[in-house]
Structure 1
Amino acid sequence: MPDPSPDLISLGDFADTYFPSGKTRTVDGYAVTCPACRTESSLQLRDLFGRLAVACLTVDCPGNFAEALGMPEARWTTLLDTVRTDTADAAATPSKGKGSKGGDGEGRLTADDVVTFIEANYRLGRSTDGLLFAVPTYAGSNRIAREVRSIRSDVLRRFREDRRARTGKGVVIGSEIMTAALGLVAALAEDAQEHPEPVALRAAQVGDDRIVLDLGDTTGRVVDVTPTGWTVVDPSESVPLFRRSAAVQPLPEPVRGGSLDTLRDLLGLDAEDRRWLLIRGWLVGSLFAEVPRPILWATGSQGSGKSVRTRMVLSVIEPTDSLGKEPGRNERDDSTAARGRFLVSYDNITNVSQATSDWLCRLVTGVTDDRRALYTDEDLRPVSYRRSGVATSITLPPGLGSDALERIALVPLDRVPDSERRGEAGLWSAYRAAHPEILGAVLDDVVRVLRHLEDVKREAHPRPRMADYADVLRALDRGLGLDEDAGHLAAYVGAVDESLADRALDDPFTAAVLALVDQRRGHWRGRPDALLPLLSTAEGTPFDLPKWWPNTPRALGIQLRRAEEALRHAGVAVSYGKSNGARWIDLRATAARNPTGSEEAGSVPWLTDPAAGSVTTLSDPLAGSVPTLTDPAPAPE
């Protein structure tokens, strides 16, 4: 890499010297291949008020240009100060004037002409989830927000038609001019509004009394749902602004008078089956975009039809040709894919790391990522999104933490008997024929929820962790006239409780805690360093401990806190304390577990170790008498 010269150099020489792989002329500079993210024509070298501005248009670019070019940051800063932007090369597209005839006979076409046309026919802005968008405002437009770079083909076509209507002959915009124009439009969209504007994907929730569903067709029609009913309407200013990604497929126009029994029959479930209540409740709740909604997770062996059934449920709201691949390989890619879909899908998940489990929790609850703003190295733009979706696996992956299990509606599916198995082509043919009525029936349920949701929110009820989703299910039960202990909310709460209790038994760490509590007749209390070897040698603990098994008192505390909710559902309460400088952990069986021979909580200060056959005295730290806690079972040498 050449050393920067203290003499002033032109912008053209700067681009040729430090970006020799090729450059494209823009209105006020050059577009070159970014050395940091390697995206072609993404790095903009611009004249900004007489100074050189360097920025990459790629949203996820790290922006470490100096490092990518192999020079210290100080040298890079000095180099930028030596570039003369006022004496740059002459523009590749000269301005209108004598002897420069363009497609309209008035002058050669420039990128500024294209930008002017776009500003006259589109409204520019920035969404809360980081989208730089352009909304068509010309007559007959569908009022759908589109990412700025994706309007290229629409601008090419409409610009040509506009020039042909005005001059009698069309004009084709060159690739370099269009690239330069869209780059400037993206910069204008970045600063078009003081605050980001909400732009919905597929469904928008407006307060507690309105849901708007984008049908995804070319006309931009939506379904407006209120407590009085639902109707299909054309796009207008009174309708929330929507966007569409390439993954969005059109929905059929819903039909009134349908029944969800058709979908239930296609899924092969009974009306009283708890799994059907979970599916129906999730379908209705999925349209409440401002509410954290759980992931509908289907498990089952090969031959249970979990992928087909799950895809069928998903396609009621979000039609798709196939389910997506499992997450966890790259969080940035997972986040990008999730932002492009209203409902995500993951098929045949086999492994889930702790990081992926945490990411799924954030995905359901809501994620805010920071993205670098255009033409800056330091200004950040927050990108917020929340998603629900579906997932399938043979069994629940062991890596899912208890906090993730509380954000899952688990639907275990049985293997379909060979005598009852239907051909997939015929199944989907029947589904497509019934889809309009199925969608209409879901919207009828949404109307029922909207009629009662405001009252339910004001009432005092025990609520699970997904409290807002529970309110939606309670409102649905009330609208359908179902008893609280036999409705959709009861089915969801019961499924979560069972998932957490089962996980406590399946997970080797929580299973070791349960075994220890049972061995100690329902209660153990002592120092963390005393508990560590006890769990490692407890009944049922694997001989070869997994790599994630805690090996220090601090790691033990972290693992216990992560497992607290699963242990609580399995009947063991965990508490912590400190007395006279000694930290202690208390493990106590609750009424839900009631192990054989357990004493009443706090009734005895000592516990018998059945394995050792001896009696060990444990000083109560709360009493403050003895700060030392004797380890009832020292770790083996």
Structure 2
Amino acid sequence: MDTNNNHIPNQIMPPAPGTSTKLNSNDVCTIIQQMNYCYDQNKTVYCELEIQNKKKWKPIESSDFIAFVQTYFKTAYYKVLKQSDIKNLIPILNLLALNNGKQVEVYNRIGRLGDDIFIETQNTNDDIIKITPEEWSITQNSPVIFKRFTHQTSIPTPVTGGSLDDLFSIFSITNPDEQILIGTWLVSSLFTNMPRPHLWFVGEKGSGKTTLALSLKKLIDPVSRGNFMYRNTSEMAQVIDHHAVPFFDNFTKINIEISDLLCAAFTGTDFTKRKQYTNDDDFTFSIKKPIILASISLGNPASDLLDRCIVIEKSKNDRKTIPEEMLMKAFEEKKPRIIGGILDAAVETLRTYRDIEVSDYIRLADFQRIGIAAAQALGFTREQFETALTNNLRTKGILKLQSFPVASLVIKFMENNEFWEGTMIDLQNELMDIADDPHLVNSNPSILSRNLKDCKDILEQANLQVMSGSNGSNGRKYFIRRITTNDSTDYIDYIIED
């Protein structure tokens, strides 16, 4: 069965004869089987319903499907069906759909079909935004299937000819690099067929990072608030699956399992969990999402996660001194124009991004290509975008070193050394001698040892390796040596002076 063609079937249940003929359960089953069914990768079966003259796809286990069938039979055959009557037929309909139906991809808020992008607004008109390389428009009947969740809210009707300048003005985003990176990230988030970087806001309390991050999410996948970071990968995978653009706030540390999951969400992965503990059925979350993060500091992220992120540093000085209520009121008023500006840029990006040639990738190769097209669509130049991306590497390196001051001291200590050998106490003394503030070096040797393990990836970026040796009369010996690698140091080698 071909699963690559995501066009959904176009057949629907034929009109009923409108007679009062008595129907038995077999007749009911036969009529319901004439409806149009398909199923997704989790073998969840959907049925096409016509509600208020609009075609909608609903899971057959949903209340919408049951209500539709009840209304249909009451209107057409004057027969009242109990909910249990319909539920008893669901196993038969499931088997029918899986044997004879078509597998399609079911999308969360944003869908892609060929060169066209579809966005479900979830407003009262059930409007669908359709983006093509020629234009964007509003339609009601979507050729792709969307799944909805109760936490999601509606997108306002966008305005043609809008601009992201309103967004930058409201949130005091005056740095050109930040304007370019935020703008191109917003446009690229609509391209579900390619890896899109995560957007990570770092800043002190009161810098407005959470307000800005949540506002960006509301432009594409509006919800009332963000989510906390879970330690359990199963819970995290479910949250990521349930959002088109997940947003995690108020966390101080990302453990290695969650870091790996966030990395996998960049390129795309399937996460499988049991549907119920009483059977062997599995449920698969297909995760390929651009994620928004907001935290006071980077904490201790693995380098491979940081490589998949755009990091924006915010401070209290970046924020306008106006009440948040007034800030959000201005944002809500300008939101249709801002969304319109994103859509206008997306049209131009769809038209041109395949023609972009990149010979020297900085990082985030897929994003770099589409980012160039998006930047030009937003009125920036290719050179401005590539400069912003390069500068962001520097920002990430500085923030990472700030999270681990001991790494900066070790790098500084080894500037003129190829090899060092000694105990943790010896290393403490060496680092204290060169530290402007000796308190940056923990007085407990075991804690210093753990800190070195935590910043292992930073030191490796600086071509340094820390190894433990055998126990001696004065304690365990450690070795620090300079290593040769083909991987460039990217940002570590030129930020130490900062």
- The farther-off stretch of 326-335 and 218-227 is 218-227
Cα distance change of structure 1 residues 161 and 409 upon mapping to structure 2, 3 Å threshold: same
Inter-CA distance 387–491: structure 2 relative to 1 (3 Å threshold): same
1:466 aligns with: 364
Deviation of 1:449 after TM superposition, in Å, equals 1.5
Letter in 2 for 1:573: N
Match of 2:128 in 1: 222
Question: Is the alpha carbon distance of 1:105 and 1:262 closer, same or farther for their aligned partners in structure 2, counting shifts above 3 Å?
Answer: same
2:172 to 265, 268, 271: 268
1:293 paired residue number: 196
1:245 corresponds to 2:149: yes
- Residue 444 of structure 2 aligns to a residue whose secondary structure is coil
Instruction: Report SS of the residue matched to 1:421.
Output: coil
- The one of 15, 37, 49 aligned to 1:123: 37
Matches of 1:442 and 1:293, distance apart in 2: 16
3-state SS in 2 of match to 1:121? coil
Within-5 A mapping of 1:4-19: none
1:429–1:481 distance in 2 versus 1, CA, 3 Å: closer
What residue in structure 2 maps to residue 543 of structure 1? 443
Unaligned runs of 5+ in 1: 1-103, 577-582, 597-637
Deviations for 1:50-87, whole angstroms, at most 9, x for unmatched residues?
xxxxxxxxxxxxxxxxxxxxxxxxxxxxxxxxxxxxxx
Question: Of residues 481, 488, 491 in structure 1, which corresponds to 2:388?
Answer: 491
Whether 1:136 aligns to 2:48 is yes
Alignment partners' CA distance in 1, 2:284 and 2:316: 45
Superposed counterparts of 1:146-545, under 5 Å:
146-149=58-61, 151-152=62-63, 154-168=64-78, 171-174=80-83, 176-186=84-94, 188-189=96-97, 196-207=103-114, 209-236=115-142, 239-270=143-174, 272-324=175-227, 326-371=228-273, 383-396=285-298, 398-415=299-316, 420-456=320-356, 459-480=357-378, 482-487=380-385, 489-507=386-404, 510-511=407-408, 513-518=410-415, 521-524=416-419, 539=431, 541-544=441-444
TM-score normalized with structure 2 length? 0.78
CA distance, structure 2, for counterparts of residue 293 and residue 402 of structure 1: 17
**Which amino acid is the alignment partner of residue 504 of structure 1?**
L
Contact 2:136 / 2:347 at 8 angstroms: preserved in 1?
Answer: yes
- Larger helix percent: 2
Gap runs ≥5 in structure 2: 1-19, 432-439, 467-478
Q: What per-residue deviation string (whole Å, max 9, x for no partner) do you get for residues 267-315 of structure 1? A: 1222x43222222121111111122222222222222222222221111
Q: CA deviation at 1:256?
A: 0.9
Q: Show the counterpart of 1:86.
A: none
- Give the 3-state SS of the residue equivalent to 1:433 in structure 2: helix
Distance 2:327 2:455 in 1: 46
Q: Is the 8 A contact 1:295 1:407 kept in 2?
A: yes
TM-score normalised over the length of structure 1: 0.62
**3-state secondary structure, aligned to 2:193:** coil
The 1:515–1:314 alpha-carbon spacing in structure 2 relative to 1, beyond 3 Å, is same
Aligned to 2:470: none
The question of whether the paired residues in 2 share the 8 Å contact of 1:299 and 1:412 is answered with: yes
Instruction: Give 1:362 shift.
Output: 1.6
* CA drift at 1:480: 4.6
Is contact 2:259–2:301 with CA below 8 Å preserved after alignment? yes
Taking the aligned partners of 1:482 and 1:229, their CA distance within structure 2 comes to 20
Identity %: 21
- Asked if the contact 2:361/2:368 (under 8 Å) is kept, the reply is yes
Deviation string, structure 1 residues 157-190 (Cα, Å, up to 9, x no partner): 323322332344x51514x444433455445555
Structure ID, larger Rg: 1
Deviation at 1:320, TM superposition (A): 1.6
Please, what is the CA RMSD of the aligned residues? Answer: 3.9
Other structure's SS at 2:463 match: strand
C-alpha separation in 1, matches of 2:448 and 2:97: 47
**What whole-Å deviation, never above 9, does each CA across 1:571-605 have from its counterpart, x for those lacking one?**
x23589xxxxxx99633697945999xxxxxxxxx
Distance 2:288 2:445 in 1: 36
Q: Highest relative contact order (Cα 8 Å, sep 6+), 1 or 2?
A: 2
1:548-579 superposed Cα distances (whole Å, 9 cap, x missing partner)? 9569xxx97x974x446xx53xxx23589xxx
- Asked whether the 8 Å contact 1:248–1:318 carries over to 2, the reply is yes
CA distance in 2, matches of 1:594, 1:171: 74
